[in-house]
Chain A
Amino acid sequence: MAPRLAVQNLSKHFLGVQALHDVSFELHPGQVLALIGENGAGKSTLIRILSGAHQPDTGEVRMNGRPVQINGPKDSEAHGIATVYQELNLFPDLTVAENLVFGAYPRKGVIDWKAAKREARDFLGSLGLNVDVNRKVRELSVAEKQMLEIAKSLHRNAQVLILDEPTAVLGGDDVDHLLQLVHGLKERGVSIIFVSHRLEEVFDLADRYIVLKDGKLTGAGKISETDHDDLVSKMVGRNFTRGEREVSGTLGETALEVKNLTREGVLNDISFNVRSGEVVGVAGLRGAGRTELARAIYGADPYTSGEVIVKGRKLKAGKPLQAIDAGIGLVPEERKTQGLFTALSTAMNIPLVSMLKNRTATASPSRDRSLAKGYVDKLRIKLPDVSSPVATLSGGNQQKVVLAKWLEAGVDVLILDEPTRGIDIGAKQEIYELIHELCRQGLAIIVISSELPEVLALSNRILVMYHGEVAAELEGATATEEQIMFYAVGGK
C-alpha cells in the first residue's frame, strides 16, 4: 500500500540560501513522525511547502500514492494536510462551535446553528474533549485553543496533521493532555508530523524521526533505535567548525548580578553574574526564555520576583530608563521595531539614548550629523547620507547604528539579543570584532544567540536555557555544540 504522505527529493532555495536540499521521507497512516532540527535547519521551510505557503524548486509530494500540487492553504486542506502553528488561526470572538464548523456550516437554507452546536459537541466528545461549545475562544486556555485547532483540522477530514512545536507554549499538565490527544489521533489512523525541541516528548510519542541540519536530512529512522545523544549529534552535525575563540585575559569586578529572577510561566529562578571584561553567552532553543531574560534584566518587562543588581544597586522592574541610567544597554532581537526608528535618519537615531541618559534638554541637528558621521567612519557604516531614513540601510548597517546608539550613551553592561540575525557575513565579522573590542575595554557583555558557533566563539561562559530555566552553565573554552544542544533540549 502506498504511504499516506511521501515527500520525494524536495529542494528549495531562497536567494543564495539552500533552505532544503533533497529531502525525502514517508509517513504511514497512524504514524507519528518527529521532525527535529536546530533553529533554521529547514523545518519551517518543509512545513511551509506542505501547507502551500512555498513552492518547492524540485521534488514532489505524494498523497496516497498520487502526486499533488499544493499551491496554497486551500489546496493543502483539500488534500487532507492540516498544519497547527503556534500562532493559532482561530477567531477569538466566535464561539467554539462557530470556529469548529466555520466555512462548513450545516444548513437549512440559512445556517442551522442548533445542528452546528450539536455537531460540534458530538465531534469534540468523540475526541475526548470536554469544552463548552458556547464559550468564546478568547476565554479558552492556550491548551484548549490548541486542541480546538486540532479538532477543527480533523473536522475537515485532515489525514496528515502537522503540529509545529505545539508544546512550546504549554505548561506541564497541558502538555500531558495534548500528548494524550495525539495518542488518540494515532489510533484513529491520523498521520502526524510532530515538531518539538523537547526530545523527551519525541521519545514518548513518535514512531519515527527525521533530523534536518542546514536543509539536509542528517538522520532518519525508528525512534526505538536511537537515543538522546544520537539525535543531538545528528542535529548538530558531526564535523562542525568552531569559530576562532578569542577570550580576553583579565576579568574585572562583577558588573551585573541576577538573583533568583522569576517571571511566572516564563522565567524560573534564574541566577548568574557577569564580570566586566567578560562575555556570557546565552544559548537555548526558541521559546526557552532567552529574550524574555534579556528584557527582564533591562526592565522592558516586569518580573514576579528576584533581583537585578548593577554595581551594587538594585534595579526596579519594568523601567528601561533606570536600567539605562545604571549603565545597561540592550540591542534587541527585533531590530526594526524595537532597536531603531526606521523612518528617522541615522543622525537622529544615534544620539537619542544619550540625550535621555544625560537629561539633555536641547537637540541640535548639525551636531547630530557630525556625531553620526563620526560613527559612520568608526564603525564603517555604509550609507548614502546620515540624513536619510535608517530604513534605507541594510541589516548589518542598521545593527551598527543600534550599536552606535549605545556607544554614544556609554554602557557598562551590554545585552545583545541575536546581534547578527539576518546580517551578511562581512558585517557579522565586524560586529564580532566590535564585541571583542568592547570586552577589552571592560564592558560586561551578554550575547544571546541561536547560532551555536557564534556563542562558542564569543563567550567566556555559556548559560544554556531550557523551559525558562538555566539548565547548565558551561565554560566557554571547553564547551561543545553537542554539550549545549544536550542541555538545550532538556537533557540532564
Chain B
Amino acid sequence: MTTQAPTEPWAKGLSLKLRSNLLPIIILLVMVAAVALLVPSFFQPSNLLNVGRQSAIVGIIAVGMTFVILTGGIDLSVGSILALSGVTTAILINNGLIVPLAIVAGMLVGVVAGIINGIGVAVLKVQPFIMTLATMVAIQGLSLRLTDGGPRQFSNREPFFNFIGSGSFLGVPGPFIVFLLIAAAGILVLRYLAFGRYIYAIGGSIEAARLSGVRTTRTIILAYSISGLCAGLAGVMTAARLGVGDPTAGSLSNLDAITAVVIGGTSLMGGIGGAVGTVFGAILLAILSNVMNLLGISPFDQQVVKGAVIVIAVLVAAKATVKRFKERRTDSPKAATSQPPAIPTSSATPDSPERDGSSPAEQTTPR
C-alpha cells in the first residue's frame, strides 16, 4: 500500500484520472463530436472564430473570478464593474483623454472596486456574497448616474482599441487573443507563483493558512482586485466593440462567469480547481450557445438547457472527487474509523498545481 508499482491496469487509472481531472475537456470533446453530427456548419472557420469571440468577455471575467472562488469567496459585482469601466472609458475619451490612458483608467476602476470588495470581505469580515451583492448594486447605480441612464457614444479611431474590441490578427479575433493571454497569465500565477499557493491555502482552510504564516487579509484583497481588474478589462473591451459606454452592459456576466468557473471544476468551497478548467468552461458555454443558435433553438429554451448542463457538470465532477478522496485512503485502522475527509462539492481540475496526476491514479488500497 505504499508507493509500489501499480497493481491494476493502466487503463482503469487513466479513466479515473480523466474523470477526475479532465472533466471539462471531456465534456467539450463529447459535445464537439455531437455537434459534428448535428450541425456540420458549426465547423466552418468563420463560425469557429465567432465562438472564440463570444467566449472572450465571459472567459476573461471568469479567469479573475477563479481567484476569488478558489479562496472560498464569490464576486457578484463583476457585471457592474464591467459596465462602470466601459462607461468611464467612454466618458474620458469624449472628454479628450488619450485612448491608452482611458483604457488604463477603465481597468483601474475595476481594481478599485475589487479592493473595496476585498477589504469588505477580509477586513470587515462581511460574507463575500453579501459584500459583492452590495457593490454590484452600488456600482451599477454609479454607472447609471454617470450616464444619466443612457449609453454614451464615443468616437474611436485608435487601432489597438479597435483590436481588443472587434479586430483580428491573422484572422483570429482580437478579444479571443486577449482572453488567451489573460488565461495564460492566470494559469501561470496560480501554478508558479507563491501567491497562487496562498490562494489555494486560504480556500483549503483559512485558519491553517493563517497559522502557516499566510497574510490572509492581503491575499484575499489581492484576489478580489484581480477579479476587478479582469472585469474592468472586459468592460473596456465591451465598450470598444460596441462603440458606446453602456451602463446596462454585462448585467448577467457575473452569473455566466461563475457558471464557467464551476463547469471548469473549481469548487465553490474553495481550495480546489484552477484556471485551465475555467478556460474550457468559458469556451464550452460559448459553444453551447452557438450550437443552439445554429439549431434555431429559441433563447428561452437555451436558458433551460444551460441550467441543465450546469447541474450535470457539477454532479459528475462531485462524483469524481468523492471517488478520488475515497479510493486512496491508506493504511491504519484508525484512519478508516475517523471522520471521512470533507468532500468538496466539485472536482479537481487539470491545473491545480499538484493535481496533474503525474503518476497513475489507480493505486487503491487493499481493504
- Spell out A's residues near B (CB within 8 Å): 14-16, 298, 300, 320-321, 324, 330, 332, 336-345, 347-348, 352-353, 355-357, 360-365, 368-369, 376, 382-389, 391-397, 405, 422-424, 427
Q: In the bound complex, how far is the Cα of B364 from the Cα of A361, in angstroms?
A: 36
The 10 closest A-B pairs by CB, nearest first: A391-B341, A341-B204, A394-B335, A394-B332, A345-B354, A392-B328, A321-B213, A356-B213, A384-B363, A324-B213
Chain B interface category by residue count: 35 or more
Establish whether residues A343 and B363, one from each chain, have CB atoms under 8 Å apart when the complex forms.
no
Known: A321-B213, A341-B204. 11 other contacts (CB 8 A): A14-B337, A338-B211, A341-B208, A343-B344, A356-B212, A356-B213, A363-B353, A369-B358, A388-B361, A391-B325, A397-B330
- Please give, as numbers and ranges, the residues of chain B lying within 8 Å of A344 by CB-CB distance: 200-201, 204, 271, 352, 354
Kindly state the separation between the CA atoms of A87 and B211 in the bound complex, as whole angstroms: 25
Chain A residues whose C-beta falls within 8 Å of the C-beta of B355 in the assembled complex: 345, 387
Is B325 in contact with A389, judged by CB distance below 8 angstroms? yes
**Chain B residues within CB distance 8 Å of chain A:** 1-3, 191-197, 200-201, 204-205, 207-215, 271-272, 324-325, 328-335, 337-339, 341-342, 344, 352-359, 361, 363-365
Q: Which residues of B contact A395 (CB under 8 A)?
A: 332, 334-335, 338
A361-B193, A364-B192, A395-B332 known; A338-B354 Cβ under 8 A: no
The chain B residue with its CB closest to the CB of A323 is B213
Residues of chain B within 8 A of A353, CB atoms compared: 212-213
The answer to whether B331 touches A392 (Cβ under 8 A) is no
| Shortest distance from the beta carbon of B202 to any chain A beta carbon, whole Å | 9
* A residues in contact with B354, CB < 8 Å: 344-345, 347-348, 365, 368-369, 386-387
- A348–B272 contact, CB under 8 A? no
**Residues of A contacting B344 in the complex (Cβ-Cβ under 8 angstroms):** 343
Known: A338-B208, A355-B197, A387-B355. A343 touches B342 (CB 8 A): yes
Residue among A324, A340, A355 making CB contact with B208, cutoff 8 Å: A340
Q: Looking at the assembled complex, report how far the CB atom of B137 sits from the nearest CB atom of chain A, in whole angstroms.
A: 27
Which among A14, A363, A396 has the highest number of chain B CB atoms within 10 Å? A363
If A14-B337, A363-B192 touch, does A387 touch B357 (CB 8 Å cutoff)?
Answer: yes
For B207, give its contact among A324, A337, A360, A427 (CB under 8 Å).
A337
A294 to B3, CA, bound (A): 35
Looking at the assembled complex, report how far the CB atom of B272 sits from the nearest CB atom of chain A, in whole angstroms. Answer: 5
- Docked pose: A455 CA to B28 CA in angstroms: 58
A363 interface neighbour in B191, B210, B361, B364, Cβ under 8 Å: B191
Contact of B324 among A348, A360, A389, A423 (CB under 8 A): A389
* 29 A-B contacts (beta carbon < 8 Å): A14-B337, A16-B333, A298-B211, A320-B213, A321-B215, A342-B341, A343-B344, A347-B354, A352-B197, A352-B212, A362-B192, A362-B194, A363-B191, A363-B353, A365-B191, A368-B353, A382-B330, A382-B331, A384-B1, A385-B363, A387-B355, A387-B356, A387-B358, A389-B325, A391-B341, A391-B342, A392-B328, A392-B329, A396-B332
> Do A387 and B359 touch (CB < 8 A)?
yes
Q: Measured between alpha carbons, how far is A352 from B209 in the docked complex, in Å?
A: 9
* Residue contact B196 to A363, C-beta cutoff 8 Å: yes
Task: Establish whether residues B211 and A394, one from each chain, have CB atoms under 8 Å apart when the complex forms.
Answer: no
List of B residues within 8 angstroms of A424 by Cβ: 332-334
Q: How far is B163's CA from A302's CA once the two chains are assembled, in angstroms?
A: 54
